[in-house]
Structure 1
Amino acid sequence: MNHKFSTFLLLGFLLLISNQYLAQPLGNNPNGQNWQSLQTDFGQLIFPLSFQKQAIETAQLLNSLENNNPIGLRGKKRQLRLILQNQTLNANGYVALAPFRSEFYGTPPQSLNDLSTVNWLDLLSIHEFRHIEQYRAARKGVTNIGYYLTGEYGWSFMQRLSIPNWFFEGDAVLVETALTTSGRGRLPAFTAEQRSIAFSSKNYSYHQIRNGSFKNLIPDHYRWGYLMMAKLTEEKGYEVIQPLVEDAAAYKSIFYPFSRALKKQSGYTTKSLYQKSWNAVKEDWKADILELQVTKSRNLTDSTLKTPTFYHFPQYESDSSILVLSNSYKKTDEILLLKADKKEVVCRPGASNDPFFHYNYGHLVWTEFRNNPRRTNAEYEDIFVYDIKNKKKIRLSQRRRYFSPVLNSNASKVYAIKVDLKQECTLQSIDIKKQTTKDIFAFPAGEYISRLNISENDSILVYIKRKNNQAALFSIDLENLNEKQLSPWSAHAIGAPRIANGYVYYSASYNQRDNIYRVSLNGTLQVEQLTEAKIGFYQPAVNPSNKELLFSETIFNGHSISKLEEANWVKSKIQINEPIEQEWNYSHLNKTPHFAEQATTDSLNQNESKNYNNLFRGFRLHSWPITASPAAQEMNLVFNNYLNDWSASVGGGYNYNEKGSFYQARLSYGKFLPILSASISSNYRNLSSVWNDLYLESTTFRSNAISLGAAIPLNWTLGNYRLSLNPQLRLQYLQLSGNEAQPNENYQFAHAGLSFSYLRRRARQNLAPRFGLSASINYSRNAIKLSEERFQAESRLYLPGLFANHSLQLSSGFRRELQENFYQHSDFFNYARGFEAPYSDEYHRLSVDYKLPLLYPDWGFWGINYFKRIRTNFFFDYGKQLLYAFDYNYEFQSTGVELFIDNVLMNTLPISLGFRTSYLINEDPSSPDEEITYGIIISGGF
């Protein structure tokens, strides 16, 4: 092994794997779910008993993917544990290592433009199984060495470092597109943001699309990866992917392993593949609209957006005023009133998995996200009504799963879709005054309902129905509960219907782009096209009096609101061409679009499932990482179970600060309300102490400890705020030995702590919450020598600055621990900046910080580093030190500036590098000649 290669591994493992070794919260799954397991060809499927039907169907598709996938990847078969969740509401899934597992969040999305009309669990299965194949194929060469050296942490890190995220996600989107009739690659909305860039004069470099931006709307790695992989496989075939993954993961080239593997297999580098694929689609998209009579609408919001801004769901408040949901990189969700070129903030809805609102009769309705504070995988969407005139917000439901609420004409009743734990939908009404609910219509299993709208006379509701990988518009008569189909079944994405003048207006992807269409409420199934968009029109609304058409339009750097008079409507009756027939698809993706529908079934049935509620089920060793910091180096054996109830580690290391070895073992269990933990440790200590005769002495000894602890991590989402509360209690038996200054002693400590935060959610550019408070209190006491105690408290208040992305922060701290105590607790207190941490029995601190962004460079070099943001902080610190034995106190005052550069290292790891200059208003007793001090600050994430 050559010197360069050895250095590469050393840096990689000792410095960067440590970022992966992070504790995961335990016990997030609700109790009482009656977990079952099913053994399959791909591994073990774990699911709640109430989700058994969906589990069997998912297992059948995954078995087909394992055995019959026409474009699958090869790799050593490694059994996977797949967990199906049915109480989460965020439509998502993932594959992860440490331990090797996958998790599907089973509730489908409301918007078809996000994730297509394909059955949600089928789409998840195809997409996530591709990640499983990628991970298996990547266990080659150096990545495999990483596994043998550190376990699955090493496997994860080495493949993450060698293979770009755009490949992982782009390849998975490519496969879901190839194997289904309407995977994301077939949706115009999926590439709408890229189209907006193509039609502008803006060009982004490979570094920019790889790492993103705080300044500009740069589509994510799913979208860029899909375009690049579609172009690559069009030219070289699907078979190019296998050797590409293997060569990159094996690090056949130590530097730029993926780009050089790509060059070997295809002739492209990553940059040249990006340019080739981007230039190709730009030309196709531009040619696509050359002969179109593009609709000339009038923009009602900013037509040129300096800051990425998004306007959605326009609705008429009156003939001359419009309500719209808005957010931007600077601001979180707001409902605005647009009137005569003025914008007025009406209210600020809370966080939601499905940002949507409806207006009627001076009232607004929407849903907000809530969760079980301890079992955070139990999620809810509750209904809120807002009275605009009285500025009063009412909560209509508690811990329910509601979507797409709408108000009737006098705002006395709300209609909404309730989704149960079997993912079955029921139409309900809620009386606002009485706050009583009534079931109106229960839809059969297999039919998923989204996006309600109500007629002006409250007699009809319309909605989107999904079934068998297709979607159509339906209506229901609220008097006789008769359903009527309004649009043909199609694999196209359709969205946001709205009733007006005997028609239902909606967006759909019927003709290469998303346009506005309408169908009659009479049920003729005849579709009429009303617009010809350059990129995409969405979420229509119609003014009944003058028939003006409102919609959200994709433009460069966001979405705007546009208006179109009836005289300019296209009004063309159309026949629907299915997504696989549209011209913008790469033809090689159309060879196997019915794989998911035709997947072979086997003999799997409910009788083959087994109970999965054993205490230690799935508990296994998965990693043995080396973790390093400037203070210590250690190695641990790490254990977890798949449902994340258990966590354990055994290991040891060396502390450079105290020049001694340490060993420890930890075990935590999170099935109960508190997370229970136990640990044993042995540490060599080397520290300085102040004794009663007033001199400093270096003390060395061995510290052996046994601890029992309990913690209750609680997290609430409350509108626009996140509340966290974490009380902790730990009992510790401590034995000190080997000290020459005094005899061996045993200690018994009780440690109590409480951390609290109440923070407003942030927009993308916000450096900190606009409002918020965080605090922590820690108290430790020797149960035998009651005078030996440590008390520490710190707090921080977040306030808005002069501009949206600025932050004013006031913080304080207090610490008390007598230096005469033989045992000194670890010190993580924040002292006045610029000074050495003083010896003190008591210390007080007050600080003021003002943080603001300076630049967004969006520039990188050689794939080594990408400069994403430069920010600064001006600070003032006041501290006061007290030493009781000397009857001594001293004040510390400093002011200065910190400059931070937010970087993405090696296109993978977010790291902030900071430089601090402190002017010492008072003299530093430990360095009296220094008036200005300097420091370097390094932190992960930003």
Structure 2
Amino acid sequence: MGVKNAMFLKKIVKSIVFILPFILWSQDQHEPQNWEKLNSTYVNVIYKIGQKKEAQQIANTISYIQKNNSKSIGYHYQPITIVLRANSVESNGFVTYSPFRSEFFNTPPQEFNALGTTNWISTLAIHEYRHVQQFINHKTGGTNVLYYLFGESGWAVGSILAVPNWYFEGDAVVMETALTQSGRGRLPNFSALQRALYQKNKIYDYAKTRNGSYKDLLPNHYQEGYQILNYYRNHYNASTLDNIAHKAAGFHFPFYGFSYQLKKETGLGTTKMYQKTVEENTRLWQLQRDSLQVKNYNQFTKKQKNVAIYKYPQVTENGNIIALKSTLHKIPTYYKIDSLGKETKIISATNQVDSYFNYHRHQLVYTGISLNPRYNNTSYNDVFVYDITSKKRKRLSHQKRYFSPTFNKDNTLILVTEQNQNKSKLILLNAQNGVVEKEISVDGFISRPQFIDNNNFVFIKKLQHQLAIFKTDTNLKEIQLTPWTSHVIDNINIFKNAVYYSATFNGIDNIYKTPLDGSSNIYQITNANIGAYQPFVKDKKIYFTEQTSTGTKISVSKIKAKEYKLIEPVFMNWNNQKTIVFEQGNILNKIEQKKYSTRSYTSIFEDLKFHDWQYGISNQKITANVTATNLLNDFSTVAYTDIYLNENSSFSLGAIASYKKWFPVLNLELEYNHRDYNTAIPDENNTLYNGAISYNTISLTPSVTIPLAQIKGNYTTNFSFNAGYEYLRGFNSKFTLDESQREVKLNNIEFTAYNSSIYLSTKRNKATQNINTKAGFTTLNNFSKGITGSDATYFSTSNRLFLPGFVNSHNSYFSFGYQRNDDLLQSDSFTYARGYNTIISVKAHRFSYIYQLPLFYPDFGLIGITYFKRIRANLFADYSKLTLSNNRTTKQSSVGFEVIFDNTFFNIKEAEIGIGYRGSYLLEKDITNPNNIFVSGIFITTTLF
């Protein structure tokens, strides 16, 4: 291979390899806006102008927690930077190791059952800062060694391997519960699934709750973690929790370190602690049900053997029910359910951040999420209307942040809440065209508005960490209907002269009603076994959902009202007394309101830091790279080096940077190469002379990337286009003869080239048990060509068309690929027919059909090393035609099967890896081994292909 062509190839490959991460990262960004920054001892907050109040609240809350509530986690700290995202409809927050930071998405959830009554920003500050404290106090011992070796990603690996995920989230839920008058630990809905499971004696083992399941409904690591840690705090010294996690992360004991340290403190490992927690909660929850004398209600829906979750049942004009239903093998779908339980599909749901919907007069109204195509941290929630009779869907709003839509009596108006930068409004929309008819400003956060008539409305309001139901008119005259409470109120429904709603008043979620006359009287309607939610009243009957061990069911009852006396303040501490006492209770009225200094924040380099470093060694070379990213993800860079071990003194140095604030994304790579290696070159008589060839090159590769993404209905589309230009110049090229050490000058390399890639993917949502999507396609195309100095061309395309299977949990796809690889210059990554030995080709194309199906869901593990979640199969047929370098053509075709074990390892649910066995029957001769007829082997995959 010539020096010039080899260098050309190397540069093209490296450009694609290093640019790809920037393509993937660049969409997780904000749209250009003006930022400010707050600085304090424990936290720095970067926020959009207009969010100063929230930034001050975050800083004061965290300062109080660090000073007063660190006993159970440790007092080590380092300042954390929080990015406050104001343009997203997602209610979320996270702390990440690399680069170490936190992000808060400040749109509160509409559903109060999910998180309680505490102000959203306060909840985020308490919960997410607990993660910060956890991460910092885990940077010790072996985890600290990994940090020094690999940067913040090494820190993450050590912490995640050493400490179970239920500890991280359970401990954070403990704090949001102990430091407020609400929090998930107090919410009956938070433990409803566990209570339903334990009542039915469905006690899954510890390994299953840790690793998850494709066939059963399990409590998540938030719920399980809270119960285990709450049990620990009630029976042992909470201050020793810090010691357990700290030593585990330090790898004081190399295997099952957390369980080992837990057993040293308590005599119980993780499995035994989980079992003790289940035993105690089973007893306590039964005592609670007995004391409340709970009732069973008639079930409207058929009994379900498999997981089924029904939401928001509403009765139609002829007595049928419309509800949103989710299962493990189907995406969320709206169904009509008749009195015999027969279910008829209406339409699949859109991608949603809030699944609330309203039915009236043959129409559904609901919301669906969409994205700013370029800046995906900017998102919207728009209103859709679906006409059941005409089977047509209409989008009524564009790039709005609307929630909780509901019709008026004649379907001419739609009432929604609008949420922007933590501020609420009531909006009246024209139901035909989405035009805003009226805006009503309301103080506090509002949710689930309902029409009384066209000029009067009811809604739930949150203010000062409490909830109450209000009614108002278009002239902003408010009347409070229920007292302020730290109990959860949710899912209101108006019928005649009363508002019906679910609430936690007696310690289990039940349905209550309150008159609209302002009397503040409360009447209890249900006394449910586990929990009653989402009421709908019609014809003196009330329909609602109840939690079961396999999801939720729709129940029905005659309305029998019993006056209820609401008791405040709310404690709900039936099983967490010591947890609250240890942390000294509610802090929200104790926090000092200090004013921290703020300033404008504009520099993309201010918070740029190197956070990850990686290296590797092989027989050929040593590689190393270091990555730096700023906290707003506006700018990223990777610096790298290669040292070639089988050459004399060869090495390369380079860096690639990406500026992502603009559109398109701008990338630039700069590389210096020094190569010196032994070889032989011929003279004009074809006599070979041994010696060493050496040369230096410097190259410059600018490129642009256009990343786009969008969500429409229940499809997600991703698009990326990358185009780059490369200039490479060589100098000091020479050949040194071994015998005489005479130097012979060689022609220096100089050439230009361009390369481009296009990726497009559109995929329908898939259910949990679906191996892949049932509809959609992907295409990836790469093209590279020399302009001067070389005219080598490389082109490849890889395409998949996804289709449904014969059964709901099955799917299939067609695959087509093509490659042109002039003079075999490019690294050959083409996928040939399975079962054949690899033959490097100049041209190739391939057709494949793959049918994917699950076989079994074993749900068993081997002593914490691996857990078998699913066994699945692929049935395939491949056909390839190749053109080799000597212009000879050959065909490859095979049929076969793959059996794949989807396992998690070391109880890390997210680390699911497929280990497969493949058997291929060859229908054409393999020219490298003509005797092959059946070829088998083991393979590993981290994808579902």
- Normalization by structure 2: what TM-score? 0.91
Which residue pairs with 1:342 in the alignment?
Answer: 342
The answer (yes or no) to whether the contact 1:492–1:578 under 8 Å persists in 2 is no
2:928 equivalent to 1:929:
no
Secondary structure (helix, strand or coil) at the match of 1:474 reads strand
User: 1:840 is paired with a residue of what secondary structure?
Assistant: coil
Partner of 1:597: 588
CA distance in 1 between counterparts of 2:674 and 2:204 reads: 53
* Structure 1 alignment gaps of length 5 or more: 1-20, 689-698
Q: Given the alignment, which residue of 618, 625, 646 partners 2:635?
A: 646
Specify the alignment match of 2:470 in structure 1: 474
1:95-494 matches, within 5 Å, as 95-306=95-306, 308-340=307-339, 341-421=341-421, 423-444=422-443, 447-455=444-452, 457-478=453-474, 480-494=475-489
The residue that corresponds to 2:84 in the other structure is 84
Is 1:808 the equivalent of 2:797?
no
Q: Is the 8 A contact 2:296 2:529 kept in 1?
A: no
CA apart distance, 1:787: 4.2
State the Cα distance separating 1:770 from its structure 2 match: 1.1
Q: Aligned to 2:703, which of 709, 732, 735?
A: 709
Compared CA separation, residues 889 and 785, structure 1 to 2 (3 A): farther
Say if 1:793 and 1:813, in contact at 8 Å, map to a contact too. yes
Say yes or no: does 1:556 pair with 2:558.
no
* Residue pair 1:118, 1:182 contacting (<8 A) in 2 also: yes
- Structure 1 pair 739–645 and aligned structure 2 pair: CA distance change class (3 A): farther
TM-aligned CA deviation for residue 786 of structure 1: 6.6
Is residue 504 of structure 2 the alignment partner of residue 515 of structure 1? no
Distance 1:628 1:289 in 2: 62
Structure 1 residues 488 and 114: alpha-carbon distance in aligned structure 2, compared to 1, 3 A threshold? same
- After superposition, the Cα gap between the structure-2 partners of 1:928 and 1:553, relative to the gap in structure 1 and judged at 3 Å, is same
Aligned partner of 2:564 among 559, 573, 576: 573
Post-superposition CA distance 1:326-366 (Å, at most 9, x none): 11111112111111321111122211110110011221100
Give the C-alpha shift of residue 918 in structure 1. 1.2
Cα root mean square deviation, aligned: 2.8
Displacement after TM superposition at 1:754 (Å): 0.6
Q: Which amino acid aligns with 1:103?
A: E
> Shift of residue 175 of structure 1?
1.1
Which string of whole-angstrom CA distances, capped at 9 and with x for unpartnered residues, describes residues 829-849 of structure 1?
221111223232211110000
Do the aligned partners of 1:794 and 1:813 also contact (CA within 8 Å) in 2?
Answer: yes
Distance 2:344 2:647 in 1: 60
**Match of 2:828?**
827
Amino acid at match of 1:914: G
Who is 2:9 aligned against? none
Residues 793-833 of structure 1, C-alpha deviations (whole Å, 9 max, x = no match): 111000000111111100101111222x6xx1232222111
Structure 1 residue 495 displacement after superposition? 0.8
Say if 2:31 and 2:378, in contact at 8 Å, map to a contact too: no
SS in 1 for 2:376: coil
In the alignment, structure 1 residue 673 sits paired with structure 2 residue 663: yes
Q: Is the 8 A contact 1:304 1:556 kept in 2?
A: no
1:230–1:586 contact (8 Å) kept in structure 2 = no
**Does structure 2 conserve the Cα–Cα contact (< 8 Å) formed by 1:28 and 1:374?**
no
* CA deviation profile, 1:850-909 (whole Å, cap 9, x unmatched): 0001111111122111111111101000111124x6442211101111111111111122
User: Hey, what's the Cα distance between the residues in 2 that align with 1:136 and 1:917?
Assistant: 48
Aligned match of 1:721? 715
Would you say the 8 A contact 1:497–1:504 is kept in 2?
Answer: yes
More deviation, 784-793/376-385? 784-793
Deviations 1:62-105 (A, max 9, x none): 11112222645324321211111111111111111122111111
Q: Match of 2:916, as an amino acid?
A: G
Once the two structures are TM-superposed, the CA of residue 570 in structure 1 deviates from its matched residue by: 5.3
Summarize the Cα distance change of 1:844–1:434 in structure 2 as closer, same or farther, 3 Å threshold: closer
Tell whether 2:501 aligns with 1:506: yes
Unpaired stretches in structure 2, ≥5 consecutive residues: 1-20, 680-691, 737-743
Residue 573 of structure 1: CA displacement? Answer: 2.3
How far apart, in 1, do the equivalents of 2:448 and 2:849 lie? 47
- The sequence identity of aligned pairs, in percent, is 32
- Decide which moves more: 156-165 or 743-752: 743-752
Which piece of structure 1 moves more, 793-802 or 747-756? 747-756
Q: 1:581 to 1:352 in 2, by over 3 A?
A: closer
> Partner of 1:757 in structure 2?
761
- Measure, in 2, the Cα distance between the counterparts of 1:854 and 1:598: 56
Q: CA deviation at 1:713?
A: 1.1
Q: Distance in 1 between matches of 2:164 and 2:646?
A: 37
Tell which deviates more after alignment, 28-37 or 622-631.
622-631
| Cα drift, residue 412 of structure 1 | 1.4
The amino acid that maps onto 1:335 is Y
* Secondary structure, aligned partner of 1:538: strand
Deviations 1:263-320 (A, max 9, x none): 11222101111001111101111122224432231112233332x2110001111242
Counterpart position of 2:878: 877
When residues 893 and 735 of structure 1 are mapped into structure 2, their CA distance, relative to the original with a 3 A threshold, is farther
Q: Is the 8 A contact 1:163 1:245 kept in 2?
A: yes
Tell me whether 795-804 or 141-150 shows the greater mean CA deviation.
141-150
Aligned to 1:797: 801
Partner residue of 2:13?
none
- Asked if residue 788 in structure 1 is aligned to residue 788 in structure 2, the reply is no
Tell me, yes or no, if the aligned pair for 1:496 and 1:540 is still in contact at 8 Å: yes
Q: Decide which of 600, 622, 626 is 1:611's aligned counterpart.
A: 600
Mark the CA change 1:522 to 1:590 in structure 2 (over 3 Å): closer, same or farther. farther
Q: Which amino acid aligns with 1:788?
A: A
Aligned residues of 1:507 and 1:540 also touching (Cα < 8 A): yes
Q: Whole-Å Cα distance in 2 between the matches of residues 867 and 673 of structure 1? A: 45
Deviation at 1:183, TM superposition (A): 0.8
2:928 is matched by which residue type in structure 1? S
For the 8 Å contact 1:316–1:541, the answer to whether it is kept is yes
Q: What is residue 490 of structure 2 aligned with on the other side?
A: 495
Structure 2 Cα separation of the partners of residues 658 and 526 of structure 1: 87
CA contact 1:512–1:582 (8 Å) conserved in 2 = no
Answer yes or no: is the 8 Å Cα contact 1:27–1:672 preserved in 2: no
* Amino acid paired to 1:513: I
Aligned equivalent of 2:16: none
Residue in 2 that maps onto 1:4: none
Q: Is the 8 A contact 1:314 1:323 kept in 2?
A: yes
- Contact 2:322–2:335 at 8 Å: present in 1 too? yes
2:290 is paired with a residue of what secondary structure?
Answer: coil
Which amino acid is 1:483 matched to? E
Secondary structure of residue in 2 paired with 1:626: strand
Distance in 2, matches of 1:846 and 1:327, equals 35
Report the 3-state secondary structure (helix = DSSP H, G, I; strand = E; otherwise coil) of the residue aligned with 1:533: coil
Asked if 2 retains the 8 angstrom alpha-carbon contact of 1:240 and 1:266, the reply is no
* Residues 281 and 840 of structure 1: CA distance in aligned 2, closer, same or farther (over 3 Å): same
3-state DSSP class of the match of 1:642? coil
User: Which secondary structure does the structure 1 equivalent of 2:167 belong to?
Assistant: helix
Instruction: Report what 1:846 is aligned to.
Output: 847
| Cα deviation, residue 685, structure 1 | 12
- The amino acid that maps onto 2:207 is H
Cα distance change of structure 1 residues 302 and 717 upon mapping to structure 2, 3 Å threshold: same
**In 2, are the aligned partners of 1:231 and 1:277 still within 8 Å (CA)?**
yes
Q: Is residue 767 from structure 1 mapped to residue 771 from structure 2 by the alignment?
A: yes
Cα distance change, pair 439–420 in 1 and its aligned pair in 2 (3 A): farther
Task: Please show how residues 911-922 of structure 1 align to structure 2 within 5 Å.
Answer: 911-922=913-924
Structure-1 residue corresponding to 2:856 = 855
Q: Answer whether contact 2:23 2:705 (CA < 8 A) is retained.
A: no
